[in-house]
Amino acid sequence: MIRGKLFFAAGLLASLSAGWLGFPSMLYERVPQPLDFNHVAHTEKASMSCQDCHSLKEDGTFSGIPKVESCAACHAEPMGTTKAEKLLVERYVKPQREIPWLVYSRQPQNVWFSHASHLKLAKFECTECHGGHGKTRHLRPFERNRISGYSRDIWGPSISRIGAGRRPGMKMDDCIDCHRANHREHSCIECHK
Amino acid sequence: MKLARRDLLKLAGGAALGTFFTPAPWKALDDVSIWTQNWSWMPVPPRGEATTRFTTCTLCPAGCPVRARCIGKQPVSLAGVGGGLCPAGLAGHHLPHYPGRVRGASHRGTRCTMDAAVAAVREVAKGGRVAILDQRPGRTASLVYRRWLAGQEGGLYLTPPAREDATLVALGGGLAFNLDEARTVVSFGAPLMEGWGSMARVLESRPKFHLVQIEARQSRTASMADTWLPAKPGTEAALALGLAHLLGSQDAGRFTPEYVERITGVPAAQVRQVARRMKDAGPAVVIGGGDPAGPFNREEEQAIAGLNLLAGAMGRTIVPRAEVPVPAGFDKLAAETALDDVPDGGIRLLIIDEAASGNPVPWSYLKRKLAPGAMVAAAACSLDGYASHADYVLPAPVYMETAQDVPAACDSPAATFSMAPGLLAPPEETIEPADFVLRVAGEGGTLAELLKARVEAIHKTRRGSVVTYADGTATPLAEMASADDLAKAFKAGARWTDAGTSSEAPGIAFAAVDAAAIERRAASAQFPLALVPFGWRGAAGPVSPIFSKLYQESRVRSSEGEARLNPATAREYGILDGGLMVVETSCGSQAMTACLDEGVMPGVIEAAIEPGTGVLEICDVEDWCGWRTAPARMRRA
């Protein structure tokens, strides 16, 4: 009888460990960014603001990550001796090749998200969704979901999505929760164009 | 220690139980579902830099300005300009991916070349008795049809009877509603608040007028009206004559409010109240029809339209409107023929322009007008509608695939013209229905060339102004140096509006209403059950899958094959909510799913028209060109 309980408990513990510890590490692969970008160096040393690179265009669309020609305005020649600086100039700026950034917050292609309405109408700060990304010295690796292909940031850092703060991720449920909390009307077709 | 089978089972049982208390199965399920959304064969919007283009929606007569967000040349989302856009318009860019899309010309289900289709249709056309059913009259393509038919022996230009401007047609045509001047609007089933005319104009004028909705169904317009008079289905014209009687008509002598109450079920006091409002709280306007599901018949529409003469609407809330200038070469055009006037078996060749989804006509009714062995050629983008009955199916482009013009809506007091440029390349074999007719006629040229000529004709007038969608600026047409400049403005998104509106009262000698016929019909409408089809703009055409799925699940749209019943009626026939039932009329029967709704009038079966459901096919159009209601019975399936 005790022997049976022990085997049962062993199976239970093994699956709990696998599910809580092994599964998350197996699910995501860590992919390095093509370039180690230093946000702090740009905002503090070069006195740039977030909007200098990530701005809303005249027609209200969000510019996203700047193209390499924007980088070339300052980095036509290396501005330091770091490995990242050398890589930027030699691999991307001089051959005018776009940097294949891995976007942490990239949504599925059937989702339409308006930065303009969230920034201008809802008066959101960038940090409310993107956290302290603008104050980092190094880019963290992109954690790619091996099944869906999306970033871990979409699901959120906590695998259980329990107790991870007001906005644990960038899934549809998170959008809906926030809209409900702020008493904003929403319908399917607003985002699913 | 030796492992027994029982130990392994216990281990597996513990592991299985434990798994359910980890995020692994739930997260894996979520990820797999996302993975299935990204299969390579699924059409997905491209990635890239976004640009904005402007166009005009051609999915319904409203012709709303549209802002299209494009990646490369591909529109990935649509929005209104300076206002909203209806759900159909918002999902308009999905239509090129419609699953039932017609991809090539076919003859009775077998692929054929376009040349073969043109030659076959041309051969049959030589014998005369040719008809074209134009689902969206008033376009430049319509001019092409009418010019060709004028030269054909017995050429008939047909339009759907269930038109938004049916009242204006009954008054003689060349007119428009001017809701901005109206203080009382009496609507006989016109869906004013859910898709009629230009929604922007209706909503802008709405605070200024008192809306009286006369309709058996508790539609959204009825719910939003100031006064709702739920007349029994099929008795609306009797109510119109009751109002005419109170407004002093000699034709409606017998239709006292008390008599009308007996027929329609609307209390006499309410009839008197509405008549008083029309007299004292004018200017009033009376709008009949416009419900995409079915028209009034000619006598009913005449009775309703005639109220406008009694209410003094002419020249105030109904005004003459000039036509949009027409290029040279369109001097001789075939007049519109009412379907009712076409003798049974009178058509040898029927060409249907189904590219612009309009208000459907039951196929059973059209079929009756065909001679034995008649040929039907349908230019359609999907096989859901008439194409399934046609001998020749011609693949037509959908919204945004080719340049189209958008005529003025029925509530625009001034003539307007705008264009929807082709933002997307159509599939290789598609053909504009007008281009097909031009090829059959052997006239040469294309619709695109005729649109260019029409823009030149507008420019020659030097009248009116052009408003650009991008910034809302109005430029007097006289300041535009050339027709090319005007064409460029249309291509970039603009609308031309003719100068001024006329307040001249049109001299209309109205035909006497056949009150006796209406009385007979109203009396025959006292059947135990009435099948009342209903629909929304474009209901018979293809809709985006997202529109069907999300809006049907949330019950904003009725599902296919669904019948709405009052719970009391359902109880009487032993039908349960969600149960299967069979609706029978003199024209046939159809299985439907019951949906119980307190808002439905007892004794009424409401059924939504959808592509392919065929509810219109069992509606009775036996002796009058109207199918708003049909005597019916039902039983549990």
With an 8 Å Cβ cutoff, the interface of chain A facing chain B consists of: 3-5, 7-16, 18-20, 23-24, 27, 59, 61, 108-110, 112, 145, 147-150, 155, 159-161, 188-189, 192-193
Read off the pLDDT band of B112 (50, 70, 90): very high
Residue B548: the pLDDT is: 60
What gap in Å lies between CA B340 and CA B335, rounded to an integer? 15
What gap in Å lies between CA B593 and CA B555, rounded to an integer? 14
Closest-CA residue of B relative to A147 is: B31
Q: Do the chains contact at B23 and A23, CB–CB below 8 Å? A: yes
Statement: residue B211 has pLDDT above 90? yes
Query: Which is more confident, B494 or B562?
Result: B494
Summarize the confidence of residues B348-376 as an average pLDDT: 87
Residue B612: the pLDDT is: 57
Statement: residue B99 has pLDDT above 90? no
What gap in Å lies between CA B397 and CA B404, rounded to an integer? 10
What gap in Å lies between CA B304 and CA B294, rounded to an integer? 15
State the smallest CA–CA distance between residue A168 and chain B in angstroms: 15
What gap in Å lies between CA B403 and CA B449, rounded to an integer? 10
Kindly list the residues from chain B whose CB atom is less than 8 angstroms away from the CB atom of residue A23. 22-24, 27
**In 3D, which of B326, B353, B485 has the Cα closest to residue B415?**
B326
Residue B413, CA distances (Å) to A94, B195, B459, B500 in order: 61, 18, 20, 9
What's the distance, CA A164 to chain centroid?
16
Summarize the confidence of residues A98-114 as an average pLDDT: 87
Q: Angle, nearest 10°, between helix axes B268-280 and B257-264?
A: 120
Read off the pLDDT band of B89 (50, 70, 90): confident
Least confident of B70-79, B244-253, B261-270, B301-310: B244-253
Statement: residue B549 has pLDDT above 60? no
Summarize the confidence of residues B196-211 as an average pLDDT: 91
Statement: residue B383 has pLDDT above 60? yes
Closest-CA residue of A relative to B53 is: A59
Closest-CA residue of A relative to B75 is: A193
Residue B501: the pLDDT is: 61
Q: Do the chains contact at B13 and A8, CB–CB below 8 Å? A: yes
Three-state secondary structure string covering A15-26 = HHHHHHHHHHHH
Least confident of B182-186, B204-208, B287-291, B580-584: B287-291
Closest-CA residue of A relative to B6 is: A4
Statement: residue B223 has pLDDT above 70? yes
Residue type, B418: S
CB-nearest to B17 from A12, A109, A150 is A12
Summarize the confidence of residues A17-45 as an average pLDDT: 91
Query: Which is more confident, B15 or B613?
Result: B15
- As beta bridge partners, residue B66 has B55, B80
Statement: residue B46 has pLDDT above 80? no
Closest-CA residue of A relative to B76 is: A193
Q: Do the chains contact at A11 and B93, CB–CB below 8 Å? A: no
Residue B77: the pLDDT is: 86
Any A CB within 8 A of B41 CB: no
What gap in Å lies between CA A128 and CA A20, rounded to an integer? 27
Q: To probe the interface with B, which of A3, A12, A20 has the most B CB atoms within 10 Å?
A: A12
Q: Do the chains contact at A14 and B15, CB–CB below 8 Å? A: yes
What gap in Å lies between CA B226 and CA B206, rounded to an integer? 11
Kindly list the residues from chain B whose CB atom is less than 8 angstroms away from the CB atom of residue A169. none
Closest-CA residue of B relative to A16 is: B18
pTM for the complete prediction? Answer: 0.81
- As beta bridge partners, residue B532 has B606
Statement: residue B118 has pLDDT above 70? yes
Statement: residue B129 has pLDDT above 80? yes
State the smallest CA–CA distance between residue B490 and chain A in angstroms: 20
Statement: residue B521 has pLDDT above 80? no
Residue B157: the pLDDT is: 95
Any A CB within 8 A of B478 CB: no
What percent of chain B is modeled with pLDDT above 70? 91
Sheet holding B227-229, edge to edge: B227-229, B210-214, B184-188, B284-288
For residue B415, give the 3-state DSSP assignment. coil
Residue B281: the pLDDT is: 86
Count CB-CB contacts under 10 A for residue B226: 12
What percent of chain B is modeled with pLDDT above 90? 41
Statement: residue A174 has pLDDT above 90? no
Residue B60, CA distances (Å) to B191, B405, B598 in order: 13, 12, 31
Question: Whose structure tokens read 């999902």?
Answer: B91
Statement: residue B423 has pLDDT above 90? no
Mean pLDDT of chain B: 86
**In 3D, which of B349, B58, B59, B291 has the Cα closest to residue B161?**
B291
Residue type, A17: S
Residue A163: the pLDDT is: 65
What gap in Å lies between CA B497 and CA B413, rounded to an integer? 10
Q: Do the chains contact at A193 and B13, CB–CB below 8 Å? A: no
Statement: residue B558 has pLDDT above 60? no
Summarize the confidence of residues B565-574 as an average pLDDT: 92
Closest-CA residue of B relative to A144 is: B31
CB-nearest to A11 from B14, B23, B30 is B14
Residue B496, CA distances (Å) to B197, B405, B469 in order: 17, 11, 11
Query: Which is more confident, B145 or B510?
Result: B145
Least confident of B88-102, B127-141, B217-231, B527-541: B527-541
Statement: residue A137 has pLDDT above 80? yes
Any A CB within 8 A of B47 CB: yes
Q: To probe the interface with B, which of A1, A6, A16 has the most B CB atoms within 10 Å?
A: A16
Write down the H helix ranges in B446-502.
447-461, 483-492
Statement: residue B569 has pLDDT above 60? yes
- Within A139-181, strands assigned E span 142-145
Q: To probe the interface with A, which of B1, B5, B22 has the most A CB atoms within 10 Å?
A: B22
Read off the pLDDT band of B218 (50, 70, 90): confident
State the smallest CA–CA distance between residue B616 and chain A in angstroms: 30
Statement: residue B249 has pLDDT above 90? no
Least confident of B193-202, B476-485, B494-503: B494-503
Summarize the confidence of residues B429-447 as an average pLDDT: 91
Residue B633: the pLDDT is: 86
State the smallest CA–CA distance between residue B448 and chain A in angstroms: 29
**In 3D, which of B189, B139, B201 has the Cα closest to residue B164?**
B189
Q: Do the chains contact at A8 and B45, CB–CB below 8 Å? A: no
Q: Do the chains contact at B77 and A193, CB–CB below 8 Å? A: yes
Residue B539: the pLDDT is: 66
Kindly list the residues from chain A whose CB atom is less than 8 angstroms away from the CB atom of residue B45. 109-110, 193
Closest-CA residue of B relative to A26 is: B24
Statement: residue B522 has pLDDT above 70? no
What does DSSP say about strands B588-596 and B580-585: parallel, antiparallel, or unpaired? antiparallel
Residue B298: the pLDDT is: 81
Q: Do the chains contact at A11 and B10, CB–CB below 8 Å? A: yes
- Report, in this order, helix, strand and coil percent for chain A, each rounded to 5: 45, 5, 50
Write down the H helix ranges in B176-224.
199-205, 220-224
State the smallest CA–CA distance between residue B10 and chain A in angstroms: 5
What gap in Å lies between CA B102 and CA B172, rounded to an integer? 38
Judge contact between B595 and B565, C-beta under 8 A: yes
**In 3D, which of B227, B224, B223, B222 has the Cα closest to residue B212?**
B227
Q: To probe the interface with A, which of B2, B26, B27 has the most A CB atoms within 10 Å?
A: B27
What gap in Å lies between CA B124 and CA B289, rounded to an integer? 35
Summarize the confidence of residues B519-528 as an average pLDDT: 64
- Retrieve residue B366's tokens: 């059209």
Q: Do the chains contact at B19 and A19, CB–CB below 8 Å? A: yes
Q: Do the chains contact at B47 and A109, CB–CB below 8 Å? A: yes
Statement: residue B545 has pLDDT above 80? no
CB-nearest to B11 from A10, A23, A109 is A10
What gap in Å lies between CA B292 and CA B295, rounded to an integer? 8
CB-nearest to B14 from A9, A27, A61 is A9
Residue B177: the pLDDT is: 93
What gap in Å lies between CA B616 and CA B562, rounded to an integer? 13
Three-state secondary structure string covering B562-617 = EEEECHHHHHHCCCCCCCEEEEEECCEEEEEEEEECCCCCCCEEEEECCCCCCHHH
DSSP B87-101: HHHHTGGGGGG-TTB
Residue B506: the pLDDT is: 60
Statement: residue A167 has pLDDT above 70? no
Read off the pLDDT band of B285 (50, 70, 90): very high
Summarize the confidence of residues B437-442 as an average pLDDT: 93
State the smallest CA–CA distance between residue A130 and chain B in angstroms: 21
Q: Do the chains contact at B10 and A13, CB–CB below 8 Å? A: no
Q: Do the chains contact at A148 and B34, CB–CB below 8 Å? A: yes
Q: Do the chains contact at B35 and A147, CB–CB below 8 Å? A: yes
Angle CA B75–B77–B83, to nearest 5: 120
- Within B182-317, strands assigned E span 184-188, 210-214, 227-229, 284-288
Read off the pLDDT band of B88 (50, 70, 90): confident
Statement: residue A166 has pLDDT above 70? no
Read off the pLDDT band of A29 (50, 70, 90): very high
Summarize the confidence of residues B531-549 as an average pLDDT: 73
Read off the pLDDT band of A45 (50, 70, 90): confident
> B574-591, pLDDT tens digit by residue?
999 888 999 988 888 888
Question: Whose structure tokens read 């922007």?
Answer: B200
Instruction: Extract long-range pairs of B384-390: CB within 8 Å, 24+ residues apart.
Output: B384/B100, B384/B541, B384/B542, B384/B611, B384/B612, B385/B354, B385/B357, B385/B360, B385/B540, B385/B541, B385/B611, B385/B612, B386/B352, B386/B354, B387/B102, B387/B354, B388/B612, B389/B363, B390/B352
Q: To probe the interface with B, which of A3, A5, A15, A162 has the most B CB atoms within 10 Å?
A: A15
Kind plus residue range of the DSSP H or E element containing A154: helix A152-155
What gap in Å lies between CA B562 and CA A139, rounded to an integer? 55
Kindly list the residues from chain B whose CB atom is less than 8 angstroms away from the CB atom of residue A108. 34, 37-38
Residue B115: the pLDDT is: 93
Least confident of A47-61, B3-17, B261-275: A47-61
φ, ψ at B282 (rounded to 5°): -90, -175
Statement: residue B396 has pLDDT above 70? yes
Residue B315: the pLDDT is: 87
Q: Do the chains contact at A11 and B550, CB–CB below 8 Å? A: no
CB-nearest to B21 from A16, A145, A193 is A16
State the smallest CA–CA distance between residue B37 and chain A in angstroms: 9
Residue B623: the pLDDT is: 56
Read off the pLDDT band of B625 (50, 70, 90): low
Residue B182: the pLDDT is: 93
